[in-house]
Amino acid sequence: MLIMGGTIGSGIFMNPSLVARQVHTSVLVLGTWIFGGLIALTGAFIYAEISNRLPRVGGQYAYLREAFHPLVAFLYGWVLLLVVQTGGMAAVTVIFARYFIELTGLEMPVSVVAVITLTGLTVAKCLGVKSGSNLQSALMLLKIAAIGILVAAGIWLVRASHFSFKPIVDQPVSVGLLSSFGAAMVPVLFAYGGWQTGCFVAGELKEPRRDLPRALLLGVTGVVVLYVAVNFVCLRVLGTAELALRDTPASAVMQIALGRPGAIAIALGITISTLGFLSQSVLTAPRVYFAMAKDGIFFRQLAWVHPRTRVPVFAIVLQSAWTMLILVSGSYGQILNYVTAMDWIFFGLTASCLFVLRRREPAAQFRMPWHPISTLLFCLVCWSVVANAIYCYPRNTLIGIGILISGVPAYFIWRKLYAHE
């Protein structure tokens, strides 16, 4: 539930149209989502072996610390807090608030609903891991049910099908076609992102060496199945040309299948989906800041856990407070422009940890198939995404890199501050 909940947000309900604007046949549109799923599944296999070797709290932070250096791990946590996690959470909270207001008819500012929502989730997560995980599981099951209804309605309630296996491509195979496919992969990879955050809570699992690899592989596989099914239904009901014109294709499918009640139902599904994503984000990412504090390279108060609930309360509150600040300032849209490059830099770095860990200790209970070729290919994909972001959005990417570099002096300041404690 954590792996799937950290992946499925609002992207799958909206991003199919972005893909259809870049590639224009049913096979290519569906192919991008299948290819993106294979990339995500490859990453899940790599993380499964790493998590089996290092079942530590903080997930990626712990892997980078153990394989490379505490500075590299700190920089990951630094951009996670300042940009990646909180910027994404702020944007998703706004989406939730807008759909919630539309469904309920409340006359309240979006920012007020968003802040109230984050506050409620923060309190729920501070009550304990058990209550937080129960809420996450309930929201994820509702999210799966919403996607299931969308798929069923698109297959059984709409007779005419616009999906076609011909033509496979609408232009000769060329550099231009590959460029279009690469551009289509950007929203796909963004929608598939987030599964790695389940690793953050490894230290709180009863059997992390056994359960976390299983969760990664089963969770990502489940996401791929759901994503491909949603895109097949969108293509079947709308076709590629119409899909490209719809900003909210899931709503269009349900409108055709069930009319106004269908549109309301999918709006409710998107609301639940975004709430589930936020619930997972509030629960998992603070474990990174907790681990940083335990290592003496961040505010030491963040290492405090409640004696009864065993939850890092201050770490959770810090993340939510920073998210609210980004939210009310309205800067989350700009911050999201920095997210892709920062996220994929550390995807590649974390995957490359496997080369170091295997050299130190060859044996492991779970092993990545076809390593080192498969791991190397995944790293190359990650860094090609970063290179594409630099090429397409140089200003935004450089700002993100500037935020990343600003963590270097911060690391040495905190290390010196707590060196003698």
Res. 333: pLDDT tops 80: no
* Long-range contacts of residues 218-221, Cβ cutoff 8 Å, at least 24 apart: 218/3, 219/1, 219/2, 219/3, 219/4, 219/7, 219/44, 219/195, 220/3, 220/7, 220/37, 220/40, 220/41, 220/43, 220/44, 220/195, 221/41
Give the CATH number of the domain where residue 267 resides: 1.20.1740.10
Distance of alpha carbon 214 from alpha carbon 198, whole angstroms? 12
pLDDT at 270 over 80: yes
Q: What is the pLDDT of residue 341?
A: 82
The share of the chain scoring above pLDDT 70, in percent, equals 98
Over range 326-334, report the average pLDDT: 81
Q: What is the pLDDT of residues 337-367, one digit of tens each?
A: 677 788 899 999 999 999 999 999 888 888 9
Calculate mean pLDDT across residues 383-402. 85
Across all residues in the chain, what is the average pLDDT? Answer: 90
Tokens 């153990």 belong to which residue?
A: 66
Mean pLDDT of 126-140: 77
pTM score, whole prediction: 0.91
Report the C-alpha gap between 111 and 330 in whole angstroms: 9
pLDDT, position 339? 79
Please give the tally of structural domains in the chain.
1
Task: Please say if the pLDDT value at position 391 is more than 90.
Answer: no
Does residue 57 surpass a pLDDT of 90? no
For residue 91, the model assigns a pLDDT of 87
Whether residue 332 has pLDDT greater than 80: no
Q: Give the mean pLDDT of 190-213.
A: 88
pLDDT above 80 for 116 = yes
Backbone torsion region of residue 8, taken as left when φ is above 0, otherwise alpha when ψ lies between -120 and 50, otherwise beta: beta
* CA separation for the pair 196, 199 (Å, rounded): 6
DSSP state of 57: T
**Which DSSP symbol is given to 300?**
G
Stretch among 12-16, 84-88, 303-307, 333-337 having the lowest mean pLDDT: 333-337
Give me the mean pLDDT over the 386-393 stretch: 81
Confidence of residue 129 (pLDDT cuts 50, 70, 90): low
How high is the pLDDT of residue 130?
66
Q: Which two tokens stand for residue 189?
A: 């990879």
* Structural domain harbouring 78: 2-417
